[in-house]
Amino acid sequence: MKKLNISSALLLSGILAVSSCSKFDEMGVNPKEASASQVEVEYFLNNSIVGAQMDPHIAERIFVIYWKNAGRQQLGSGISTGGQDDGYNTDYYRYISGWLNSAVTAIEIADSKKANGSAWPYNENLKQVARIWRAYLLSEMADNFGPIAINGFEGVNPDFADVKTVYYHVLDELKDASAKLDLNVSADAVKALDPAYGFNFARWQKYANSLRLRLAMRLSEVDAAKAKAEFEDAVTKPLLTTLDDAFQVQEKDGWSPLTGVMSRPWNTQALSTTLENLMVGLGGIKSSDQLAASFAPYIKPANYAGLQLLNHFSTKTNEPYAGFFLDGLPYTVDPRGYKAFPIPGDFNNPNFPKVGDWSVTVRNLVDDGGATVRTLEGANTWNGSNGGAWGAYGTRNQWRGWPGAAPRVAGQFRLSTNKRMFFGPWETYFLIAEAAVRNWTVPMTGENAYKAGVQSNFDYWGVGSFATAYLASEDYNRVGTSVSWNHVAEPAASYSMNYVNGYTNAAGTTTINYPNNGLYKNGTVKNDLLTKIITQKFIAQTPWLPLETWSDHRRLGLPFFENVNAEAPIATMPDLNAGNYMTSNIKFFPQRLKYPASLNNTNSKGYQQALTALGGADNVLTPLWWAKK
């Protein structure tokens, strides 16, 4: 019997420990020595897609600790201050290499079967699906590390290509594979082995075309002609525009690659200051119109800043409400806010995250000797928190980082019962809206695409009834951006707010300055169309796509990310200090993951190629080719 030579199958221990492995186990066959009739394309493709959902080990390290922190979807540390763990990087490099290995193997098996006449009628379509999925994985790997090996994962030490070459290759692959899908072919017999689309090839084609929009737009600031040409071609093809077409995979409880990526109970995943400032005031929808009447006593007036606690909340950051704690609920807030981050103490909410120390909402503020200065009640409040070096403030402040006293990502994302979203329909619309603002040729107006993106995401969250009023709002959020497409007036530089001294209970008035985002148009613009689009895209991508919110910020400097606190020097972010924390600089934000330390030993030639292509040191703060410099 003819044996199938799988040259790319670096079958690392544990890599095939999903459904495809069981096929070989049932047959009692070594997959490296399996015959052509025993090895199927769909086994390896399934292995790759399922594996990339991330088991709890790698999900906690990459999705939660890296991406959600860098993408500012939660209170963060580590990578947010330029720090990384080589063990995490090594694990991720190994995992994603395994997922790519399986995708490459699927393509090789498809070609082998075609050559020896053992292919099923759907064989060629499965090959195109494997190419589409491989293209995504290559983009994910490049967006994290930078230069990678396009033709790696084949059992030999590969050459590394610069990010531009990787992106050109991926865009070509998506275009060609999408065009070669035969939509008249059925693969229903093996649909159970495709956890995303059940081998519905029309949906795979839409995903490929929308993914091409995403990756073309990634080049907008460094290679505008290529970005425009690729985008304008892809946008004429069938696109992912409905939730039915979304690329999402059902999670399952337990410990496997399908376990929820946000399921670890000890990961606090608290509301970030970035999200808080984007959502509060945005859209003009009152908290009283969103919440039960029982919350009415806790809703604060629109002109109230909260308790001023300057000895316990750091002010060495350009966050506009630094030093304040809102002892209640905001007057208006984006309707998705309370859905994604339930109110602390709302224990009867079915989506309240009852993990960790969820039931304890009262925390103390203490002096340097440990004596209580004031007690803070976290229940029925909605405050984000900032990372960085808090110095003595961190010791005195027992509220910060305490799970039960801060809004945390909703329980529905922590129970492994949801579907992990890789690409939602709103992203397609926001990409089209951005292209329209750039005066590229697209099939709908920027305004209509923008509104469709907002409506799509509101519907996903079950708050669609608020969309019309929300889209008409001219209210500014805390960073000076409004929702209405036609409202592009810039806010005044500052505004007056009432507050209460948290130590004496004396009432006062203060001036709040809108922050200047020096990464975008030198900080002179807060409310133009592109800022609106990326603000909405950021909120819509929360909490499923933190890698994308990180990538948009690296590409555009949007939306506004406040600097982490600089009460003390940060060794891993030396350029940020007590003298410049009010300014914005790319050196204050993580840009990439370092290569595993072992790479130089295992592939010294490739590592040196990667560093040359990177154009900078192998560290967290070196920007990628497509990012702001």
pLDDT digits (tens, 9 = 90+) for 433-453: 999 999 999 999 999 999 999
User: Could you read off the pLDDT of 238-269 as tens digits, one per residue?
Assistant: 999 999 999 999 999 999 999 999 999 999 99
**Phi and psi (nearest 5°) for 375?**
-100, 135
Beta bridge partners of 495: 512
Token pair of 55 as six digits: 């088991």
What DSSP state is assigned to residue 573? S
Query: What's the order of all strands across the beta sheet hosting 507-513?
Result: 324-325, 304-308, 494-501, 507-513
Residue 29's pLDDT is: 46
% pLDDT > 70, the chain? 93
**Phi and psi (nearest 5°) for 235?**
-70, -15
User: Could you read off the pLDDT of 470-485 as tens digits, one per residue?
Assistant: 999 999 999 999 999 9
User: Could you read off the pLDDT of 543-578 as tens digits, one per residue?
Assistant: 999 999 999 999 999 999 999 999 999 999 999 999
Among 414, 542, 527, residue whose Cα is nearest residue 475 = 527
Which of 16-20, 87-91, 318-322 is least confident?
16-20
Preceding amide of 342 cis, omega within 30: no
| Helical axes 41-51 vs 19-27, angle rounded to 10° | 140
| Number of neighbouring beta carbons within 10 Å of residue 485 | 19
Burial of 580 from C-beta contacts in 10 A (0-12 / 13-18 / 19+): middle
Residues contacting residue 110 through CB under 8 Å, at least 6 positions apart:
41, 119, 123, 124, 126, 127, 130
Q: Are β-strands 494-501 and 507-513 bridged in parallel, bridged antiparallel, or unpaired?
A: antiparallel
**Contact predicate 324/308, CB 8 Å:** yes
Is residue 10's pLDDT more than 60?
no
User: Could you read off the pLDDT of 315-363 as tens digits, one per residue?
Assistant: 999 999 999 999 999 999 999 999 999 999 999 999 999 988 999 999 9
Residue 151's pLDDT is: 84
